[in-house]
Structure 1
Amino acid sequence: MSSDEIVTECPACKKESMTVKSMVYPIPYFNELIIFVMKCSECKFTQKDIFSVEQRPPVRWELLVDDVDLLKTRVIRSGSGTMRLPDFGIDVEPGPAAEAFISNVEGVVQRMHDVTGIAMRSADTEEQQERGKEIMEKLKEAMEGNLAFTLVIEDPAGVSAILPDDMSKVNRTELSEEEASELRGAPFWLDNIRDEYAKVVETHGSAT
């Protein structure tokens, strides 16, 4: 794994004080991914993203998790990735603080469980709180391998992915321009950093 860094404008304080460290991370299917770690020395804003220098089509990944071993399946979520658990009515779309990560299916469900817990505690009605509890209980069953469910990830940048050991278990579909346009992509400032990094690579060669 090799690294490089640039300094750019912070999206929070608007000062040229954000260091963007980029690490090249080799990974199956993608060949290489770039992991960005961003931190502003002025306002302490921090963020992470995952990016591919290679041009990739917008994509949807779908995995039926009906075996406990599939909970170990590697999951890549970039700052432009939308995660869905349709069986639980949960969608997590990108936003200004969208978290990029490399984890596994169990880790994704745990994140959903935590987010649901936060939403439940701030619910306006008792009915919403009860609904939140029901979803959390089902998510716990899913994490224990006792409840089958489907995980969907969509990414207009084509960087997010679900990568089981047996790729025949996952459905990968390239999205049309119309389908991709309906997704919420990465924040504008994050797209700018991706473009800036791509230009650096084009000018000076790969960070490796």
Structure 2
Amino acid sequence: MTEADVDKTEVLFRTLNADDPEATEIESLCMECGENGMTRLLLTKIPFYKEVVIMSFACDFCGFRNNELQSGGKIEEQGVEITLICDSPKDLNRQVVKSDYTSIKIAELEFEIPAQSQKGEVTTVEGILDRSVQGLEQDQPLRRIQDPEGAKQIEEFVEKFKSLRGQKFTMIFEDISGNCFVENPNAPATDPGTTHKYFTRTTEQDAILGIYMEETTPAMSDKDPSDVLLELQSEVLQFGTNCPECNVPCITNMKLTNIPHFKEVVIMATNCDACGHRTNEVKSGGGIEPTGIRIEISIKELMDLKRDVLKSDTCDMQVPELDLEVGPHALGGRFSTVEGLLVAMKEQLLAHWGDSATESTSVKYQDFLDKMDQALEAKLPITLILDDPAGNSYIQSLQDSVEENVKVTRYERSHEQNEDLGLNHIKTEDYHEEN
């Protein structure tokens, strides 16, 4: 079958449910005994995460079993470091999705599982601890004969590992591909047990992922920058991409436009014919501002919901009354209204609220959605906070004078925020002397 024969309108990654067809089965070679076994492939989506390919191999001749997971989505623009503080038995049950490029550290034991030493998998925090113990104990019988002292030290270390279940400890996940996930048991509320830090990859890390920067072609470098800008402003550009919902190939439209009283922005819109998903994304047409910006909007009337809002892809959103915090990568950059942002948050939560939710989780979800509906009707006063370290977010003013229910604060970025934006290692003075 050629690529042209494939129906590109068929959704590739479906939400997992009991009515799904069976997984795809492929006969494949067993690496243990050399006979043919069976590999089962399932393309699905993990709630609050992304598309994944789950692979399960089984050999009926020797009994060998192997499970593996690979990301079905794109490599993220930044790497991610997730710090999890486990201080209760419930934290051991948190689901974890780790890719091939995830390294895991346990700070209290100075223990590390290097990246690319294990295949990607869906597991739990307890599963990571159990697998680590099994790996340490694997060669102990032989080691007790050949190296008794070393075997004794490993036994003592394993005991420390097993004692972690009743203690508070810190587990750090670092993934240069950005495809790592730790479950939030308090969803849709914020997770006090985890902190997320995004970082810009180095050239060496890009090379590990197979990402290489393309050199600028002479044809582009010969063009005058003002001519390129006029060309972008005068037409809608189109390029091929994949649907962020089902991963089917589709077309994205891009247009450079100017927002009054703000700056030039790039608006990108995608419409998928396969699943009907529509999205718009906004990126700043200028650089990073000298200071960060924090915008607080008190929403008390229906008119407040109609304000135009530009949320950049570096902007964090919070609604204290709903105990809601949305990171910059959750919704990306958007040009919408206050109501549009709230509806987008609600739709994203509804998309991940499935039959697998526990009763307590369902109660939390329903209570949250009821409050969200009240806020969308201006019956529940709330405060929407936009915190953008890059300073590229904007809220429409409904009057010329200063408004009491809108508070705009500009602030100096911290060292950590500059690090997240990749500014700490940029040389802006005398850089030409090194060439």
Instruction: Name stretches of at least 5 consecutive residues in structure 2 with no aligned partner.
Output: 1-15, 211-246, 251-273, 276-435
Give the residue type in structure 1 aligned to 2:127.
G
Give the residue type in structure 2 aligned to 1:168.
P
The reply to whether residue 63 of structure 1 matches residue 84 of structure 2 is: yes
- Asked if the contact 1:82–1:184 (Cα under 8 Å) also holds between the matched residues in 2, the reply is no
Find the counterpart in structure 2 of residue 196 from structure 1: none
Residue deviations 1:29-73 (CA, integer Å, cap 9, x gap): 214333244689xxx996622304144232111111111221111
- Asked if the contact 2:86–2:193 (Cα under 8 Å) also holds between the matched residues in 1, the reply is no
Q: Distance in 2 between matches of 1:90 and 1:182?
A: 25
In structure 2, relative to structure 1, the CA distance for the partners of 1:100 and 1:134 (3 Å cut) is: same
Q: Aligned match of 1:154 in 174, 190, 193?
A: 174
- Asked if the contact 1:81–1:185 (Cα under 8 Å) also holds between the matched residues in 2, the reply is no
The reply to whether residue 106 of structure 1 matches residue 130 of structure 2 is: no
Give the residue type in structure 1 aligned to 2:46.
I
- Tell me how far 1:108 sits from its aligned partner: 1.0
Q: Distance in 1 between matches of 2:57 and 2:208?
A: 21
Find the counterpart in structure 2 of residue 73 from structure 1: 94
Q: Distance in 2 between matches of 1:161 and 1:140?
A: 24
Q: Aligned match of 1:172 in 188, 196, 214?
A: 196
In structure 2, relative to structure 1, the CA distance for the partners of 1:73 and 1:45 (3 Å cut) is: closer
47-56 vs 134-143, which moves further = 47-56
- Asked if the contact 1:153–1:160 (Cα under 8 Å) also holds between the matched residues in 2, the reply is yes
Residue deviations 1:135-162 (CA, integer Å, cap 9, x gap): 111121123x2x2211111212222222
Give the residue type in structure 1 aligned to 2:49.
F
The reply to whether residue 35 of structure 1 matches residue 59 of structure 2 is: no
Find the counterpart in structure 1 of residue 303 from structure 2: none
Give the residue type in structure 1 aligned to 2:160.
K
Find the counterpart in structure 1 of residue 155 from structure 2: 133
Give the residue type in structure 1 aligned to 2:183.
L
Q: Distance in 2 between matches of 1:38 and 1:202?
A: 26
- Asked if the contact 2:67–2:121 (Cα under 8 Å) also holds between the matched residues in 1, the reply is no
Q: Distance in 2 between matches of 1:70 and 1:77?
A: 17
Q: Distance in 2 between matches of 1:37 and 1:79?
A: 16
Find the counterpart in structure 2 of residue 198 from structure 1: none
Q: Distance in 2 between matches of 1:55 and 1:92?
A: 21
Q: Distance in 1 between matches of 2:204 and 2:92?
A: 27
Find the counterpart in structure 2 of residue 87 from structure 1: 108
SS at 2:192's partner residue? helix
SS at 1:165's partner residue? coil
160-169 vs 57-66, which moves further = 160-169
- Asked if the contact 1:58–1:175 (Cα under 8 Å) also holds between the matched residues in 2, the reply is yes
- Asked if the contact 1:59–1:173 (Cα under 8 Å) also holds between the matched residues in 2, the reply is yes
Give the TM-score of the pair, scaled to structure 1.
0.67
- Asked if the contact 2:99–2:121 (Cα under 8 Å) also holds between the matched residues in 1, the reply is yes
Find the counterpart in structure 1 of residue 164 from structure 2: 142
In structure 2, relative to structure 1, the CA distance for the partners of 1:202 and 1:6 (3 Å cut) is: farther
Instruction: Name stretches of at least 5 consecutive residues in structure 1 with no aligned partner.
Output: 187-200
- Asked if the contact 1:70–1:164 (Cα under 8 Å) also holds between the matched residues in 2, the reply is no
- Tell me how far 1:5 sits from its aligned partner: 5.5
- Asked if the contact 1:163–1:170 (Cα under 8 Å) also holds between the matched residues in 2, the reply is no
- Asked if the contact 1:113–1:139 (Cα under 8 Å) also holds between the matched residues in 2, the reply is yes
Q: Distance in 2 between matches of 1:63 and 1:91?
A: 15
Q: Distance in 1 between matches of 2:67 and 2:198?
A: 28
Q: Distance in 2 between matches of 1:180 and 1:169?
A: 31
- Work out the percentage of aligned pairs sharing the same amino acid: 14
Give the residue type in structure 1 aligned to 2:93.
K
The reply to whether residue 181 of structure 1 matches residue 205 of structure 2 is: yes
Residue deviations 1:111-139 (CA, integer Å, cap 9, x gap): 11111112544545333212211111112
In structure 2, relative to structure 1, the CA distance for the partners of 1:95 and 1:47 (3 Å cut) is: farther
